[in-house]
Amino acid sequence: MDRFRPSAAASATTGGDDIVLPENFLFGTSTAAYQIEGAAAEDGKGPSIWDTFTAEPGRIVDGASGAVACDHYHRWAEDIELMRRLGADGYRFSIAWPRIQPTGGGAANPAGLGFYDRLVDALLDAGIRPMVTLYHWDLPQALEDGGGWLDRETALRFGEYAAIMGDLLGDRVTHWCPVNEPNVVTLYGYGEGVFAPGKALLLDALPAAHHLLLAHGTAVQALRASGAGDVGTATSHYPAWPRTGSDADRAAAGCFDTLWNRLFADPILLGRYPGGLGEAMPGPVGEDLALIAQPLDFYGLNYYHPMGVRAASEGSRLPFERADVPGYPTTDFGWPIVPEAFTDLLVEMAERYPGLPPIIVTENGCSYATGPDESGVVDDRPRIDYLDAHLRAVAAAIGRGADVRGYYCWSLLDNFEWAHGFTQRFGLVHVDYDTLVRTPKRSFDWYADLIRAHHGTTD
- pLDDT at residue 4 greater than cutoff 60: no
Report residue 119's pLDDT band, with 50, 70 and 90 as the boundaries: very high
**pLDDT tens digit string along 51-98?**
999 999 999 999 999 999 999 999 999 999 999 999 999 999 999 999
Whole-angstrom distance, CA of residue 36 vs CA of residue 66 = 7
**pLDDT tens digit string along 124-181?**
999 999 999 999 999 999 999 999 999 999 999 999 999 999 999 999 999 999 999 9
- pLDDT at residue 6 greater than cutoff 90: no
> Looking at residues 438-450, what average pLDDT do you find?
98
pLDDT for 111: 98
Report residue 3's pLDDT band, with 50, 70 and 90 as the boundaries: very low
ω into 443 cis (within 30 of 0)? no
Whole-angstrom distance, CA of residue 188 vs CA of residue 309 = 16
**pLDDT tens digit string along 245-286?**
999 999 999 999 999 999 999 999 999 999 999 999 999 999
Owning domain of residue 220: 26-455
**Within a domain: 2:** no
Catalytic residue among 37, 144, 181, 340: 181
- 363 catalytic residue (yes or no): yes
**Within a domain: 438:** yes
pLDDT for 12: 36
- 348 catalytic residue (yes or no): no
- pLDDT at residue 222 greater than cutoff 80: yes
**Within a domain: 377:** yes
The verdict on whether residue 294 carries a ligand-binding annotation is no
CATH (domain of 193): 3.20.20.80
**pLDDT tens digit string along 291-344?**
999 999 999 999 999 999 999 999 898 999 999 999 999 999 999 999 999 999
For residue 152, give the 3-state DSSP assignment. helix
**Within a domain: 16:** no
The verdict on whether residue 446 carries a ligand-binding annotation is no
CB-CB neighbours of 375 under 10 Å? 6
Q: Compute the mean pLDDT over every residue in the chain, rounded to the nearest whole number.
A: 95
Catalytic residue among 42, 144, 363, 374: 363
The dihedral built from the CA positions of residue 166, 178, 120 and 457, taken in this order, carries a sign that is negative
CB 442 within 8 A of CB 380: yes
What secondary structure does DSSP assign to 349-385, as a single string? Answer: HHHHSTTPPPEEEEE----------TTS----HHHHH
The verdict on whether residue 417 carries a ligand-binding annotation is yes
Q: Which residues contact 180 (CB under 8 A, 6 or more apart)?
A: 32, 94, 133, 135, 136, 137, 234, 302
**Within a domain: 18:** no
H-assigned helices in 16-107: 33-36, 49-54, 72-86, 97-100
**Within a domain: 228:** yes
- pTM for the model stands at 0.96
For residue 252, give the 3-state DSSP assignment. helix
* Whole-number percent of the chain with pLDDT over 90: 94
**Within a domain: 58:** yes
How distant, in Å, are the alpha carbons of 101, 116, 160, 283 from that of 105?
Answer: 6, 18, 8, 22
Whole-angstrom distance, CA of residue 200 vs CA of residue 413 = 31
The verdict on whether residue 304 carries a ligand-binding annotation is yes
Q: Where does residue 162 fall: left (phi above 0), alpha (psi -120 to 50 degrees), or beta otherwise?
A: alpha
As a residue count, the chain comes to 459
- Give residue 372's identity as a one-letter amino acid code: P
Report residue 458's pLDDT band, with 50, 70 and 90 as the boundaries: low
- Give residue 390's identity as a one-letter amino acid code: H
For residues 302-336, one letter each, b for 16 or more C-beta atoms within 10 angstroms of the residue's C-beta and e for the rest, the string is bbbbbbbbbbeeeeeebebbebebeebeebebebb
pLDDT for 77: 98
**Within a domain: 19:** no
pLDDT for 317: 87
The verdict on whether residue 91 carries a ligand-binding annotation is no
Number of structural domains found in the chain: 1
Strand partners, 177: 133
